[in-house]
C-alpha cells in the first residue's frame, strides 16, 4: 500500500470478522514493501492478525522504509508480529527518521517486535516515531531471541540503536516490556520525550530500565515526565548488575571495568500520579543505573512516589560506584511536593549509591518524605 493510499478495516456487524495477513521478506504484514512508502492504516474493529516478513513490521513499513504514515486503532482485537528486525507496529529494519504517527484509542492490542525491534515503534536502528495511547488494553514486547549480540530495543519506543521518539500515554491499560537489554518504555541512549498523563502503565525490562534507557549505555538525550496515572516501572534483573526503575540502564556483567555506563543525563519530572519505581542490583529506583552518575535534574512536585533500589543504588539518585566509576550525584535532587517514600538496601535513600557522593537534596515543607537507607 503506497503513500497516498489508505486502508480502513471495520469488520462485520458487532465488530466480528477476522483478517490474517502474512507477507514475504521485506514486506510488512499490513503496510508497504521495501521500495515504497506506506499510506494511512485505520482499524475500527474486528480481529486482526498481521505478520511481517523478515526486516518488516507486522503493521507499518517494510525494510529500510520510514513509516511516514498514520496508524490508528480505534477498537477490535489486534495482534501484530514484526519479522526479524521489524517492529510489531511501526517501522521496519534501518528505517531512520522521526516521521509517522501511531494512535491507539481502544481495543485490545498485542504487538511483538522481531529481533532487535520494538513492540510498538522502531525496527532495528529505528526511532519510536510519534506514539500516543489514549485508551484500550495494550501489550508491547520487544524482540526476544536466542541470537547473540545487542538486543537494546524497547517494548514501546526505539529499536536497537534507535531513539524513543515522542511517547505520550493519556489513558488505558498499558504493559510494555523490554525482553532483553532494552527498556520497557524508551530507547537506547535516547529515551525520547516520554509523557504519562494517565492510565495504568506497567513498564518492565529484563535488564534495562523500566522507563528510560538501555543497559550498557548512558542515557544522554530525552526527558521523562509523569503527570498522572498509576505507573509501575521495574528492572527485573537478578544477576547483581542492574538498571534503574525510571532512568538509565546499568552496566552488565560484560561491561568493561574502565568504561562508565548507566549515567542519567536527562531530566526526570514527576508532577502527579501514583508512581512505583524499582531498580535492581546497583541501579537506583529513580535515577542512574549501576556505575552511573546523575547530571540530569530529578524533580518531584506532587503525587505519591515509592522508589526503591532493591540493592546498592540509591532509592532516588545515583547507581552504585563500581571500580571507581559512577555513584556521583552532580545535580541537587528537588522534592517540592507530594508524598515520597525512598529506600535503599545499602546506600542513601535519596542521594548517592553505595561508595558514591552527592550534592544532596532540596526538600520543601509541602513535601512529605519518608527515607530509609543504610547510610
Residues constituting the chain: 375
Does residue 201 belong to any structural domain of this protein? no
pLDDT at 355: 85
The three-state secondary structure class of 323 is: coil
Same domain, 371 and 302: yes
- Mean pLDDT, rounded, for 239-248: 90
pLDDT at 287: 98
Q: Phi/psi of residue 235, each to 5°?
A: -100, 130
Does residue 94 belong to any structural domain of this protein? yes
18-48: per-residue pLDDT in tens?
Answer: 999 998 888 899 988 776 667 899 999 999 9
Q: How confident is the model at residue 5 (pLDDT cuts 50, 70, 90)?
A: confident
Give yes or no for a contact between 309 and 269, defined as CB atoms under 8 angstroms apart: no
Same domain, 102 and 245: no
Same domain, 257 and 108: no
> Does the structure show a pLDDT above 70 at 148?
no
Same domain, 169 and 224: no
Average pLDDT over the chain reads 89
> Does the structure show a pLDDT above 60 at 77?
yes
- Mean pLDDT, rounded, for 171-179: 96
Q: How confident is the model at residue 367 (pLDDT cuts 50, 70, 90)?
A: confident
Does residue 194 belong to any structural domain of this protein? no
294-324: per-residue pLDDT in tens?
Answer: 999 999 999 999 999 988 999 999 999 887 7
Does residue 188 belong to any structural domain of this protein? no
Same domain, 172 and 35: yes
181-226: per-residue pLDDT in tens?
Answer: 999 999 999 999 999 999 999 999 999 999 999 999 999 999 999 9
The last residue of one of the domains, among 180, 200, 232, is: 180
pLDDT at 323: 78
Buried b (16+ CB within 10 A) or exposed e, 195-218: bbbbbbbbbbbbbbbbbbbbbbbb
Whose CA is closest to 326, among 238, 221, 247, 226?
247
The last residue of one of the domains, among 133, 165, 180, is: 180
Whose CA is closest to 154, among 213, 90, 111, 92?
213
- Mean pLDDT, rounded, for 154-168: 95
Residue for grid cell 527515607? 371
pLDDT at 83: 94
- Mean pLDDT, rounded, for 129-145: 92
Q: How confident is the model at residue 257 (pLDDT cuts 50, 70, 90)?
A: low
Same domain, 111 and 244: no
Same domain, 230 and 364: yes
Same domain, 173 and 237: no
Rounded Cα–Cα distance for residues 308 and 10 (Å): 45
pLDDT at 358: 84
Q: Partners of 372 in the beta sheet?
A: 343
Same domain, 175 and 236: no
Enter the C-alpha cell of residue 131.
506514539
Give yes or no for a contact between 226 and 275, defined as CB atoms under 8 angstroms apart: yes
Rounded Cα–Cα distance for residues 366 and 89 (Å): 43
The last residue of one of the domains, among 180, 200, 234, is: 180
Same domain, 84 and 144: yes
Q: Considering its fold, how many domains does the chain have in total?
A: 2
Same domain, 237 and 100: no
Same domain, 121 and 231: no
Does residue 205 belong to any structural domain of this protein? no
> Does the structure show a pLDDT above 80 at 175?
yes
Rounded Cα–Cα distance for residues 121 and 166 (Å): 10
- The side-by-side arrangement of strands in the sheet containing 221-226 is 6-9, 40-43, 70-73, 101-104, 130-133, 166-169, 190-196, 221-226, 268-270, 298-300, 333-335, 361-363
222-239: per-residue pLDDT in tens?
Answer: 999 999 999 999 999 887
Does residue 358 belong to any structural domain of this protein? yes
| Better-scored residue on pLDDT, 31 or 78 | 78
Does residue 360 belong to any structural domain of this protein? yes
Give yes or no for a contact between 104 and 136, defined as CB atoms under 8 angstroms apart: yes
Query: Cα dihedral sign for 91, 93, 98, 99?
Result: negative
pTM for the model stands at 0.94
Does residue 153 belong to any structural domain of this protein? yes
Residue 96, domain extent: 1-180
Enter the C-alpha cell of residue 340.
515520597
For 297, which DSSP code? Answer: P
pLDDT at 362: 87
Q: Phi/psi of residue 110, each to 5°?
A: -125, 125
281-291: per-residue pLDDT in tens?
Answer: 899 999 999 99
Amino acid at each position: 500500500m503506497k503513500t497516498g493510499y489508505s486502508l480502513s478495516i471495520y469488520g462485520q456487524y458487532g465488530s466480528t470478522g477476522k483478517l490474517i495477513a502474512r507477507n514475504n521478506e521485506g514486506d510488512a504484514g499490513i503496510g508497504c514493501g521495501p521500495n515504497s512508502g506506506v499510506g494511512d492504516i485505520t482499524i475500527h474493529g474486528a480481529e486482526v492478525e498481521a505478520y511481517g516478513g523478515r526486516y518488516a513490521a507486522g503493521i507499518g513499513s517494510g525494510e529500510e522504509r520510514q513509516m511516514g504514515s498514520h496508524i490508528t486503532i480505534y477498537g477490535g482485537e489486534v495482534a501484530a508480529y514484526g519479522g526479524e528486525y521489524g517492529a510489531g507496529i511501526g517501522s521496519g529494519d534501518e528505517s531512520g527518521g522521526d516521521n509517522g504517527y501511531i494512535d491507539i484509542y481502544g481495543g485490545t492490542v498485542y504487538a511483538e517486535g522481531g529481533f532487535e525491534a520494538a513492540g510498538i515503534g522502531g525496527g532495528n536502528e529505528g526511532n519510536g516515531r510519534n506514539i500516543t495511547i489514549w485508551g484500550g488494553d495494550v501489550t508491547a514486547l520487544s524482540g526476544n531471541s536466542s541470537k547473540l549480540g545487542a538486543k537494546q530495543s524497547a517494548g514501546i519506543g526505539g529499536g536497537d540503536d534507535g531513539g524513543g521518539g515522542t511517547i505520550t500515554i493519556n489513558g488505558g491499560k498499558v504493559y510494555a516490556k523490554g525482553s532483553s537489554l532494552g527498556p520497557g518504555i524508551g530507547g537506547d541512549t535516547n529515551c525520547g520525550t516520554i509523557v504519562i498523563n494517565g492510565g495504568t502503565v506497567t513498564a518492565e525490562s529484563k535488564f534495562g530500565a523500566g522507563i528510560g534507557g538501555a543497559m550498557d549505555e548512558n542515557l544522554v538525550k530525552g526527558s521523562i515526565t509523569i503527570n498522572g496515572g498509576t505507573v509501575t516501572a521495574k528492572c527485573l534483573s537478578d544477576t547483581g548488575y542492574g538498571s534503574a526503575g525510571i532512568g538509565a540502564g546499568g552496566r552488565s556483567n560484560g561491561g568493561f571495568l574502565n568504561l562508565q555506563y548507566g549515567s542519567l543525563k536527562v531530566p526526570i519530572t514527576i508532577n502527579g500520579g501514583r508512581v512505583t519505581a524499582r531498580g535492581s542490583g546497583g541501579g537506583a529506583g529513580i535515577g542512574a543505573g549501576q556505575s552511573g552518575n546523575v547530571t540530569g535534574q530529578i524533580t518531584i512536585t506532587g503525587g505519591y512516589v515509592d522508589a526503591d533500589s532493591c540493592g546498592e543504588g540509591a532509592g532516588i539518585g545515583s547507581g552504585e560506584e563500581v571500580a571507581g566509576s559512577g555513584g556521583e550525584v552532580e545535580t541537587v535532587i528537588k522534592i517540592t511536593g507530594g508524598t515520597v517514600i525512598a529506600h535503599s538496601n545499602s546506600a542513601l535513600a535519596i542521594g548517592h549509591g553505595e561508595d558514591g557522593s552527592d550534592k544532596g537534596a532540596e526538600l520543601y515543607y509541602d513535601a512529605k518524605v519518608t527515607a530509609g537507607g543504610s547510610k
